[in-house]
Chain A
Amino acid sequence: MKKLKKFFGAAYLGLIFVFLYAPIVTLIVYSFNSGKGRQWTGFSFTWYEKLFNSASIGNAVGNTLSIALLSSIIATVIGVISCIGINALKNKSRAVYMAINNIPLLNSDLVTGLSLMLLFIAVGVTSGYPTVLLAHITFNVPYVILSVLPRLRQTNKSAYEAAIDLGAKPAYAFYKVVIPEIMPGIISGFLMAFTMSLDDFIITHFTKGPGINTISTLIYSEVRRGVKPDMNALSTIMFLSAIVLLVLSNLVSKKQVGEVKAAAGEKKSKQAV
């Protein structure tokens, strides 16, 4: 009886993993297929070679990385500065600001992307690299705030005051005493923002204009025009990089990333609906 229970438990868990990861495994397997079709014709690195020799793909990878890096750095700076302000607020107004901060996190990407596109058109900015960058900064800032603010709230206020008392100007005291204490929050916020930016398709799609592509928009436009096994290879690489990033950010701050991921997870599941 007990054995049976255990068996069903394991089987159930196994089934879940199969459903979750079968598609990705299929993708990874096909990326090593030597042929173009659905049949398995033998193992090869053909598509990876093709990937690394394609100019448009190289371009897209470059855009993706530079946008992710720039947007997450800028968002981290803006986010940390915002946290200082929010932290100084009274409890009531702080709650209001945090609610305003959390709405974009739960908002559908479709709405965010569409509204950003409309805004850019209204202001008369031509879509391109700068608009994508701006859009990514916009949706990254809340993640940074969510990750830094709890840290900042926990910091010992006396330490900062002690620094001032010992002759430090406020900016120097903040840099020497507060920043080191909230560093784990800053790093996890940065990594969170970086991952979100790498991952994003919808918002980029709406704000990018015709000229440029990131990896996700490139895959989308390529695959729409028929089967492209080199896109399988590209997706595989993206999947593996996402795993590496995830492990990294977990190592930095287990607890905090958990909280932020939970918010991100909520967003993802909303999109799936």
Chain B
Amino acid sequence: MKEKTLITLEHISKSFDGEMVLDDLCLDIHENEFVTLLGPSGCGKTTTLRIIGGFVTPDKGKVLFEGNDITNLPPYQRELNTVFQKYALFPNMSIAENIAFGLKIKKKSKEYINDKIKYALKLVNLEGYENRRPEILSGGQQQRIAIARAIVNEPKVLLLDEPLGALDLKLRQDMQYELIRLKNELGITFIYVTHDQEEALTMSDKIVVMNQGYIQQMGTPEKIYNEPENAFVADFVGDSNIVDAVFLRDELVEIFGAKFPCVDKGFGKNKPVDVVIRPEDIDLLEPGKGSLDGVVTHIIFKGVHYEMEVRTPDGFEWLVHSTDMFPVGTPVSIHVDPFDIQIMNKPQSEDEEAIGVEE
């Protein structure tokens, strides 16, 4: 995507009480992008978002907005709005008053405000809710009002911190579609925080995978899922089999003594690497017909597919998703298409490993 850069984070570092939370973080956010910050709890997602929103000042580094340094600008002077993780509606005001809050500060006319309230409520599918009180709304409705309250101010960027975190699965999925629709209708930039990889894959144009204050990988959902750059990303985004392997030569890798053809090149000769294979990319064949033989040790019905574990002689348990059923004890053979094998360099040092993979 060759679009205009809207927000730039330049070498941002932040510690709390001597604890490094963000370390030299650099990030570009383009106009009209749906960017998701994805990572485990405590990895610094909220802190990053709060630095963009102006609630936290970084120890080092700069925040640029359309090229202007806004690092020290207070939140109320920034042209962006936030939807908070916890419902942050004003309990002492009606829904209409909540939505009008920002507009009243900007001294907009009464007609303008009323029009905007109507428009925003329609956008979030809560028409006619003007005079209700926040506390009688359900969690999903409250969060939609919070979104309405933010977007009436026509921010260039909307920051959302796990806005669906407290909702049940069904509602969360509905809201995911609503958010995508909203983003497309409004044509503004969304920066979205979540620790739910499925949510990130569903909604984003770009995913930023974070761990312990570092960006692990950045890219489209497809890229992140299909070509994880390291074991952490592979493990965190989707289910995966991560195995030690030896890169024999271009387009050939050895896993547990068996040779697998692959499509990668340029990792050297006889070099130890990590290999990621997604469970749905493994085909189970009759013994002897695939690359590696094993026995089914577990099977769970998951609705769309069966989730199985296949133990190979080296003791590794392969996670396999298949619509075919193989009862426990069935001898099988593992086959993987060459382009479904993702090769990754091993971490260079123990330090890097500590950064990359959660223990």
Contacts of A166 on B, CB cut-off 8 Å? Answer: 76, 81, 101-102, 105, 149-150, 153
B82-90, B203-211, B221-229 - the one binding chain A: B82-90
Residue total for A at the interface (Cβ-Cβ under 8 A): 17
Shortest Cβ gap from B153 to chain A (Å): 7
Beta-carbon contact of A158 and B81 below 8 Å: no
Given the interface contacts A167-B153, A168-B76, A181-B92, does A162 sit within 8 Å of B105 by beta carbon?
no
B119 within 8 A of A: no
The residue that A162 contacts in the complex, of B74, B82, B92, with Cβ under 8 A, is B82
Given the interface contacts A166-B149, A167-B106, does A159 sit within 8 Å of B89 by beta carbon?
yes
Beta-carbon contact of B90 and A164 below 8 Å: no
Beta-carbon contact of B84 and A162 below 8 Å: yes
Q: How far is the CA of A167 from the CA of B81 in the complex (A)?
A: 9
Q: Tell me the chain B residues, 45-86 only, with Cβ under 8 Å from chain A.
A: 53, 55, 74-76, 81-82, 84-86
B91 within 8 A of A: yes
Contacts of B84 on A, CB cut-off 8 Å? Answer: 158, 161-162
Contacts of A158 on B, CB cut-off 8 Å? Answer: 84-88
Shortest Cβ gap from A51 to chain B (Å): 44
Shortest Cβ gap from A70 to chain B (Å): 28
Beta-carbon contact of B88 and A161 below 8 Å: yes
Contacts of B150 on A, CB cut-off 8 Å? Answer: 165-166
Shortest Cβ gap from B91 to chain A (Å): 7
Beta-carbon contact of B92 and A164 below 8 Å: no
Q: Which single residue of chain A is at the shortest CB-CB distance from B101?
A: A166
Shortest Cβ gap from A6 to chain B (Å): 44
Shortest Cβ gap from B47 to chain A (Å): 14
Contacts of B74 on A, CB cut-off 8 Å? Answer: 164
A180 within 8 A of B: yes
Given the interface contacts A158-B86, A167-B105, does A181 sit within 8 Å of B91 by beta carbon?
yes
Beta-carbon contact of A159 and B105 below 8 Å: no
The proximity string for B residues 195-213 relative to A, scoring 1 for CB distances below 8 Å and 0 otherwise, is 0000000000000000000
Given the interface contacts A161-B55, A162-B82, does A167 sit within 8 Å of B88 by beta carbon?
no
The residue that B90 contacts in the complex, of A167, A172, A177, with Cβ under 8 A, is A177
Beta-carbon contact of A164 and B88 below 8 Å: no
Contacts of A161 on B, CB cut-off 8 Å? Answer: 55, 75, 82, 84, 88
Beta-carbon contact of B76 and A167 below 8 Å: yes
Contacts of A169 on B, CB cut-off 8 Å? Answer: 76
A163 within 8 A of B: yes
Shortest Cβ gap from B135 to chain A (Å): 12
Beta-carbon contact of A163 and B53 below 8 Å: no
A156 within 8 A of B: yes
Q: Which single residue of chain B is at the shortest CB-CB distance from A172?
A: B105
Contacts of B106 on A, CB cut-off 8 Å? Answer: 167
Contacts of B86 on A, CB cut-off 8 Å? Answer: 156, 158
Beta-carbon contact of A165 and B76 below 8 Å: yes
Given the interface contacts A156-B86, A162-B84, does A167 sit within 8 Å of B92 by beta carbon?
no
Q: Which single residue of chain A is at the shortest CB-CB distance from B53?
A: A165
The residue that A180 contacts in the complex, of B75, B82, B92, with Cβ under 8 A, is B92
Shortest Cβ gap from A92 to chain B (Å): 12
Q: How far is the CA of A163 from the CA of B149 in the complex (A)?
A: 10
Contacts of A172 on B, CB cut-off 8 Å? Answer: 105
Q: Tell me the chain A residues, 158-191 only, with Cβ under 8 Å from chain B.
A: 158-159, 161-169, 172, 176-177, 180-181
Q: How far is the CA of A172 from the CA of B81 in the complex (A)?
A: 18
Contacts of A177 on B, CB cut-off 8 Å? Answer: 90, 92
Shortest Cβ gap from B52 to chain A (Å): 11
Beta-carbon contact of A163 and B92 below 8 Å: no
Beta-carbon contact of B82 and A165 below 8 Å: yes
Q: How far is the CA of A158 from the CA of B84 in the complex (A)?
A: 7
Beta-carbon contact of A165 and B92 below 8 Å: no
28 A–B contacts from the bound complex (CB under 8 Å):
A156-B86, A156-B87, A156-B88, A156-B91, A158-B84, A158-B86, A158-B88, A159-B88, A159-B89, A159-B91, A161-B75, A161-B82, A161-B84, A162-B84, A162-B146, A164-B74, A164-B75, A165-B53, A165-B150, A166-B81, A166-B149, A166-B150, A166-B153, A167-B76, A167-B105, A168-B101, A177-B90, A180-B92
Task: Identify the B interface with A (CB < 8 A).
Answer: 53, 55, 74-76, 81-82, 84-92, 101-102, 105-106, 146, 149-150, 153
The 6 closest A-B pairs by CB, nearest first: A158-B88, A166-B102, A180-B92, A162-B88, A158-B84, A167-B105
Contacts A161-B55, A165-B150, A176-B90 known; 16 new A-B pairs at CB < 8 A: A156-B86, A156-B88, A158-B88, A159-B88, A161-B82, A161-B88, A162-B146, A163-B101, A164-B55, A164-B75, A164-B76, A165-B81, A165-B82, A166-B153, A167-B76, A167-B153
